[in-house]
Amino acid sequence: MLFLVGLGLSDETDITVKGLEIVKKASRVYLEAYTSILLVDQAVLEKYYGRSITVADREMVESNSEEILRNAQTEDVAFLVVGDPFGATTHTDLVLRARELGIPVQTVPNASILSGIGACGLQLYSFGQTVSMVFFTDNWRPASFYDRIKENRDIGLHTLVLVDIKVKEPNMESMARGRIVYEPPRYMTVGQCAQQMIEVENDRQEKVYTKDSLAIGAARVGGLTEKFVAGTLEELCSADDALGPPLHSLVLLGRRTHELEMDYVRQFAVDKEKWDRIAKEEYGKQ
């Protein structure tokens, strides 16, 4: 059987009891390592699980899945995913390939950013579509997220913005010369995300949000050093030092934000007086 095992959001102890039992008994254990990261190293996981782990990068999962699925008709293979296997990032391609080969599949769920973000004080029922923000380049500035945010804002819902990570990305110049050299890992910050959002709003001029829209920066959600900073998008452009290391996420508050939500988030505000003023003017909250 192929087991897709969620690892949770933080460290080696977040795995469920069911997941840990599967890992200990599996013939092979793979760790998906390109859509997110845990806050501990691979060696820490291996020591806690009592098993060696093969890191499965994007190339292996997308182009060499037969290695992961090898003999899974007669052996148990564990494929570990940070968060929940079908949370922010799905692995339906791998499941479909397994089913084509007649390999049974079982999922072991766990906490993901989609549920963990509730720790910021906003009601999960009041979130709309989740969107992703990628690193902009000089000639590539995708803005499809803007339309999804507009749909959420039109009905008053919050928006969770998941930010880009680049792990084992090939250097284009080296590839053009026939050599594969990988770039150092890069993790987008809340400040970078907020800045890019403001740039797109300046381009589009549809007032879906502004530099004064209220938002929450989140870092290392679910971990011991979890951190939230709230303020305007403009204020969050300078919040990276307060938030600290990756992983980061950002939330835009919806116009139907409840007073209890607003009161809860206020404790994280950079400038509480400014927060109160905008909450009253833009969101109708005292």
Domain ranges of the chain: 2-111, 114-284
Ligand-binding annotation for 113, yes or no, is: yes
Alpha helices in 102-183 (DSSP H): 113-116, 144-154, 172-176
Ligand-binding annotation for 105, yes or no, is: no
Cβ within 8 Å of residue 260, ≥6 positions away: none
Q: In angstroms, what is the C-alpha Rg of the chain?
A: 21
Ligand-binding annotation for 112, yes or no, is: yes
The residues facing 127 across adjacent strands are 158
Ligand-binding annotation for 9, yes or no, is: yes
The residues facing 108 across adjacent strands are 5
The CA-based dihedral angle spanning residues 206, 210, 216, 218, taken in that order and rounded to the nearest 10 degrees: 70
Q: Per residue of the chain (286 residues), give pLDDT as tens.
A: 999 999 999 899 999 999 999 999 999 999 987 677 788 888 999 999 999 999 887 777 777 788 899 999 999 999 999 999 987 566 888 899 999 999 999 999 999 999 999 999 999 999 999 999 999 988 999 999 999 999 999 999 999 999 998 876 656 666 666 676 666 788 999 999 999 999 999 999 999 999 999 999 999 999 999 999 999 999 999 999 999 999 999 999 999 999 999 999 999 999 999 999 999 988 776 5
Residue 205 backbone zone (phi > 0: left; psi -120 to 50: alpha; other: beta): left
Ligand-binding annotation for 163, yes or no, is: yes
User: In this predicted structure, what is the pLDDT of residue 188?
Assistant: 96
Q: Residue type for 285, please?
A: K
pTM given for the model:
0.90
Helix (H, G, I), strand (E, B) or coil at 58: helix
User: In this predicted structure, what is the pLDDT of residue 146?
Assistant: 97
User: In this predicted structure, what is the pLDDT of residue 93?
Assistant: 86
Ligand-binding annotation for 265, yes or no, is: no
Q: What burial class does residue 116 get, using C-beta atoms within 10 Å of its C-beta: 0-12 exposed, 13-18 middle, 19+ buried?
A: buried
Assess if CATH 3.30.950.10 describes domain 114-284.
yes
User: In this predicted structure, what is the pLDDT of residue 51?
Assistant: 93
User: In this predicted structure, what is the pLDDT of residue 242?
Assistant: 98
User: In this predicted structure, what is the pLDDT of residue 256?
Assistant: 92
User: In this predicted structure, what is the pLDDT of residue 134?
Assistant: 95
> Which DSSP state fits 206?
S
Distance (Å, rounded) from C-alpha 145 to C-alpha 134? 10
User: In this predicted structure, what is the pLDDT of residue 172?
Assistant: 61
Q: Which two tokens stand for residue 165?
A: 């990570």
Assess if CATH 3.40.1010.10 describes domain 2-111.
yes
